[in-house]
Structure 1
Amino acid sequence: MSAAEGWTRRGAIAGVTASGAALWAASAANAAPAGIVRAPAGDFVGTREGGVHAFRGIRYGRAERFRAAVPVAQPGTRVAAQRFGPICPQKSESDEPRSEDCLFLNIWTAEPRAAAKKPVMLYIHGGAYSNGTVTDPQTHGHHLAARGDVVVVTVNHRLNAFGYLYLARLDPRFADSGNLGQLDLVLALQWVRDNIAAFGGDPNCVMVFGQSGGGAKIATMMAMPAAKGLFHRAATMSGQQVTASGPLNATARTRAYLRRLGVTETDLGPLLAMPTERLVDALDATDPVLGGGVYFGPVLDMKWLTRHPFWPDAHPQGLAVPMLLGNTHDETRAFLSPDSPKVRGLNWDNVADRIAPELRIDILPEWVVTQYREHFPDWTPTQVFYDATTCGRSWRGQVIEAEERARAGAPGWVYQLDFGSRTDPRRGAFHTMDIPLVFGTLDAQGSQTGTAADARTASAAIQESFVAFTRAGDPNHAGLPHWPRYDLATRGTMVFDTRSRVENDPRGWQRELFARVPYIQPGT
């Protein structure tokens, strides 16, 4: 996911994140004190809410600016875990408390005792690498945990310049910079390995799942030796990372960011003393490669990341980890609003020009439009615009990752979400639509699923698949037709909708159309 997609995502799903004051009040409202969970990292006091034990704002690490975090443990010390911790500073409209000191995780469990040994689902949020938080009500884990068969963990970590500003080539003191956000996630997984049994979880059965940027972070961790063995399944929801940012492009972006701050690359002292707010303000520095706001993401630094995750093939480290890869049918209807100038007034005379910058690949847009009109003669310019930008831009990375795993014989399953917005049907199955369906948070602020029988049916199908996959490394369950592993011969794909079904090679024509040109991961 590109930086531009990360910024525009906020406008596409405006109102998803509750106001900070309301959210923090809600985290403790209507909650009774829970028993103490005694774990190696401390004695944690959470809340009991509708039969589920919730532990919010558990610190898993502490870090100095632009340096790797260190673990935090307080053995035998009583620790209040009843409110979310602050989120990473970022350019977002909500008034949630935020701080560079943001390394906190949250746990929901129905049975907090070591003997329970329930599978663990650990969620990593989206928002590219620059925005986002797991305090979003759609990602609260109470519904998943209330089922009684999994323990849910959600994690916040450092983002944007705080987590991914690459300074290593400019100053040896910051040898870990560029991948600090990734190392935060590794630290959180180590905390889970060492402590989750006390909350009823099985440290030997951990699935990481993440949407958008969260999925990309997971794909990256599958190529990081530091993360080896810390998770046993992986599910990516509209989030891929075929290649990481090259160190030269990452350095060029760092220089653009420093110029915006008025800091010279030969003296980074002012960068360490600068107020947090100034570092956030400078995130609007112009990206010297992509244009728009400066991009931040994992870097091929040859220390923590020594090769690309899925180029020239799937990293061997991740091949033994079963993987679930998914996308939504109408990804770009989230980034490109039907009411935006890019979409209003679309016609056959202007659609090629408007598609060109949104495809993010070097392909003749007039030819693309002609091919679409011949293949789908009944489609409107708007339908062509959204399908082409989704298939040429947002879906390509997932196809490549699934293909490379299939070539290597690695266990993998692919899904496509067709269940569309019930509150604004023009958006279809847009980017982020699968979040409330997986979490079961259909009634949460920001969800567009509705709460009718059709939404509950679609949610049950996808949620049961994620739980089955966490437990056994296979998403099949009694409520679905048989879901085959993805292979290059049939490309079997589960289509989640009001009636979920398997289709072989859905949108195969689009896949072949865009395979004519190379895919370049945004930001690399």
Structure 2
Amino acid sequence: MSERTQVSRRTWMTSAAAAAGVLAVSSAARAAGAGVATPVVQTSHGPVRGRVEDGVNAFRGIRYGAPPIGALRFRPPQPPAKWSKVFEADTFGAAAMQTPGADAPKTEEHSEDCLFLNVWSAGLDAKKRPVMVWLHGGGFWEGAAGRPTYYGDHFARDGVVLVSVNHRLNVFGFAQLPDSWGPAYKSSGLAGMLDIVLALQWVKANIARFGGDPNNVTIFGESGGGAKVSLLLGMPPAKGLFHRAIIQSGAGLNAAPRDYAQTLGGALTDVLGVKAGDVAALGAVDAKTIFDSQKAAVEKAKGAAKAGFLTDGFVPSIDGQALPRGPFTPGPQPWIADVPLLIGTNRDEMTLFLANAPAVINQTDAEFEKGVRDAAPAKADQIIAVLRAAHPGATPGDLTIAFQTAKTFWIDSVTLAERKLSQPAPVWMYRMDWDKSPALGGKLKAAHAMELSFVFSTHDNIRFFVGPGDGPNRMAAQMHPAWVAFAKTGNPQTANLPNWPRYDTVRRQTMIFNLESKVESDPQGDLRRLMGA
């Protein structure tokens, strides 16, 4: 996502800051330290003890990797040192260093030392419940696993062991140093992704002790988290560590090219004044100095490669080893042939970023048309006509939001689904259309991230975003069980949904989630044919 898009998102978040801050902090306060102690669980690194909260065993802030600081900065993660004293897992661990957002609880800590995970389970027994591993959104720059939207207690009550993961982000997770730094840094541009691999290895080794089944693991994520799921589907080190995948509004077909990533990494060390190979000097630089140097490094590397969605700046890059190529460019890797996929988007994704932007609100017809022509010159007239026909009476700004939603989120999701269909495992496609949130004066509609609390059934934690009333309850009653069913069986069909066929390239059956959900065949087919790969 471009820097301008990030700024737009933060601009919107500021408008919700007061309500978000109050609700997020109160939810966090209620959760932290509540309940009685769980039995001690002996993990492969040491004993941990969580809290029993409303019948759910909750473990927060379990360390799964050694602090990635000093000589380990920018390098693949290492297992933590073993401990013998019982660790009280009652507080969320630090999230990655980032610029604090208005949607973050005020109690949230940020640190370069951020390799922590959380577990929610209904029983610490041998029942072998399906496991879901959540990868948070925020692009590759921000976000945290411990936010109230992502609490896993509802999944746990419905028979799933929910794991959520913090890992390195931005410059700390994705700075690809040049070859002059030697083989230890060959995959430094994937350090944050390798953190997730280490967390999945932790799940494989330990989750049975938390009542989970290490042979039934679903990875899922939204936005940047969806892109992380996409990348894991193309990473050899992750092979065999998961068995199903869900991508929400974050299909990732490719990753940053290595030459650009190395140019950017070299620009960073130049800005920091660190010579190639000087590991001690690199490890000694203050973390805030590194964090604050990102913008200067990106400016210095400008022109090295064409920027793209989730492929510019400090983001995961192709190293030829941990990520041999783009995960779905040209197609899926053979080792995920038996991994079922659930994938989809929200109808109005880009309202979250653009609905309050003056340049969009006040846009003219000519400006809307110019935007389409700049982005798709060969088919602009046809795309403009199709968008106007599909949205009669829409303002030029609304049409721009519809076009940017398709371009940025929807088309890549369809393309990824099409490419995954070359393999035998089933694919299911959805779109979330509920648009009754009162936030931002009702402008958000079916915005980016709107489905999250319905999937987690945590909508009561973020009513400032989804609004009051029964609508969010009805949406959660449909979406949450579908995700649970997919984790349990590899099929999202439930009794309270209409028949949901597998996706294919003939009928393109897509579940449209709304107060009254339905299945549509090839929704927006005319636009798909014009904009598809």
- Equivalent residue for 2:491, pick from 474, 480, 490: 474
1:226 corresponds to 2:254: no
Shift of 1:446: 6.6
SS of 1:494's partner is strand
Partners of 1:9 and 1:26 in 2: CA distance: 28
Partner of 1:398: 413
- Equivalent residue for 2:249, pick from 238, 263, 282: 238
| Contact 1:236–1:324, Cα closer than 8 Å, also in 2 | yes
Partner of 2:177: 167
Shift of 1:175: 2.1
Shift of 1:354: 5.0
Partners of 1:354 and 1:119 in 2: CA distance: 46
- Equivalent residue for 1:117, pick from 123, 128, 139: 128
Shift of 1:264: 5.3
- Equivalent residue for 1:108, pick from 120, 123, 144: 120
Partner of 1:437: 454
Partner of 2:437: 422
Partner of 1:72: 80
Say which is worse superposed, 403-412 or 461-470, in terms of deviation: 403-412
Partners of 1:512 and 1:146 in 2: CA distance: 42
SS of 2:198's partner is helix
| Contact 2:429–2:510, Cα closer than 8 Å, also in 1 | yes
Shift of 1:192: 0.7
Partners of 2:390 and 2:243 in 1: CA distance: 42
Partner of 2:289: 278
| Contact 1:443–1:450, Cα closer than 8 Å, also in 2 | no
- 1:12-50 per-residue CA deviation (whole Å, 9 max, x = no partner) reads 344497589767644425433232223333221111111
Partners of 1:307 and 1:392 in 2: CA distance: 22
Partner of 1:127: 138
1:48 corresponds to 2:58: no
Partners of 2:357 and 2:373 in 1: CA distance: 16
Partners of 2:380 and 2:196 in 1: CA distance: 39
Partner of 2:40: 36
Shift of 1:409: 3.6
Shift of 1:340: 1.3
- 1:190-233 per-residue CA deviation (whole Å, 9 max, x = no partner) reads 11111111111111111111011111111111111110111111
Partner of 1:506: 523
Partner of 2:97: 89
Partners of 2:120 and 2:190 in 1: CA distance: 28
AA at the equivalent of 1:161: V
Partner of 2:314: 296
Shift of 1:69: 1.1
Matches within 5 A, 1:226-375: 226-263=237-274, 270-285=281-296, 286=298, 288=302, 289=305, 295-336=313-354, 338-353=355-370, 368-373=383-388
Partner of 1:206: 217
SS of 2:188's partner is coil
SS of 2:194's partner is helix
AA at the equivalent of 2:365: W
| TM-score for both structures, normalised by structure 2 | 0.89
Shift of 1:109: 1.1
Matches within 5 A, 1:18-29: 18=21, 25-29=29-33
Partners of 1:487 and 1:362 in 2: CA distance: 29
Shift of 1:70: 1.3
Partner of 2:160: 150
Partners of 2:219 and 2:137 in 1: CA distance: 13
- Structure 1 residues 363 and 128 mapped into 2: Cα distance closer, same or farther (>3 Å)? farther
- Structure 1 residues 119 and 88 mapped into 2: Cα distance closer, same or farther (>3 Å)? same
- Structure 1 residues 263 and 344 mapped into 2: Cα distance closer, same or farther (>3 Å)? farther
| Contact 1:18–1:137, Cα closer than 8 Å, also in 2 | no
| TM-score for both structures, normalised by structure 1 | 0.91
- 1:391-418 per-residue CA deviation (whole Å, 9 max, x = no partner) reads 1222121111101112334311011010
| Contact 1:244–1:300, Cα closer than 8 Å, also in 2 | yes
- Equivalent residue for 1:194, pick from 202, 205, 220: 205
Partners of 1:447 and 1:240 in 2: CA distance: 27
Partners of 2:38 and 2:390 in 1: CA distance: 60
- 1:128-168 per-residue CA deviation (whole Å, 9 max, x = no partner) reads 11111112111111222123x11111000011111110014
- Structure 1 residues 244 and 151 mapped into 2: Cα distance closer, same or farther (>3 Å)? same
| Contact 1:407–1:488, Cα closer than 8 Å, also in 2 | no
AA at the equivalent of 2:477: A
Partners of 2:271 and 2:98 in 1: CA distance: 16
Partners of 1:188 and 1:382 in 2: CA distance: 42
Structure 2 stretches lacking a partner, 5+ long: none
- Structure 1 residues 65 and 10 mapped into 2: Cα distance closer, same or farther (>3 Å)? same
Partner of 2:513: 496
| Contact 2:224–2:250, Cα closer than 8 Å, also in 1 | yes
Shift of 1:123: 0.2
1:61 corresponds to 2:65: yes
| Contact 2:327–2:333, Cα closer than 8 Å, also in 1 | yes
Shift of 1:274: 1.1
- 1:110-132 per-residue CA deviation (whole Å, 9 max, x = no partner) reads 1122x221111110001111111
AA at the equivalent of 1:214: G
Aligned residues: 511
Partners of 2:511 and 2:392 in 1: CA distance: 27
SS of 2:256's partner is coil
- Structure 1 residues 239 and 67 mapped into 2: Cα distance closer, same or farther (>3 Å)? same
- 1:315-346 per-residue CA deviation (whole Å, 9 max, x = no partner) reads 2222210110011101111111x221221212
SS of 1:56's partner is strand
Partners of 2:391 and 2:52 in 1: CA distance: 54
1:382 corresponds to 2:397: yes
- Structure 1 residues 494 and 435 mapped into 2: Cα distance closer, same or farther (>3 Å)? same
| Contact 1:119–1:470, Cα closer than 8 Å, also in 2 | yes
- 1:264-300 per-residue CA deviation (whole Å, 9 max, x = no partner) reads 5575754322111111112223452457996122211
Partners of 1:266 and 1:120 in 2: CA distance: 41
AA at the equivalent of 1:407: S
Partners of 1:511 and 1:188 in 2: CA distance: 37
| Contact 1:60–1:73, Cα closer than 8 Å, also in 2 | no
| Contact 1:458–1:500, Cα closer than 8 Å, also in 2 | no
Shift of 1:256: 3.7
Shift of 1:74: 3.5
AA at the equivalent of 1:33: A
- Structure 1 residues 17 and 231 mapped into 2: Cα distance closer, same or farther (>3 Å)? farther
| Contact 1:6–1:131, Cα closer than 8 Å, also in 2 | no
SS of 2:90's partner is coil
| Contact 1:138–1:446, Cα closer than 8 Å, also in 2 | no
AA at the equivalent of 2:45: A
Q: Percent identity?
A: 36
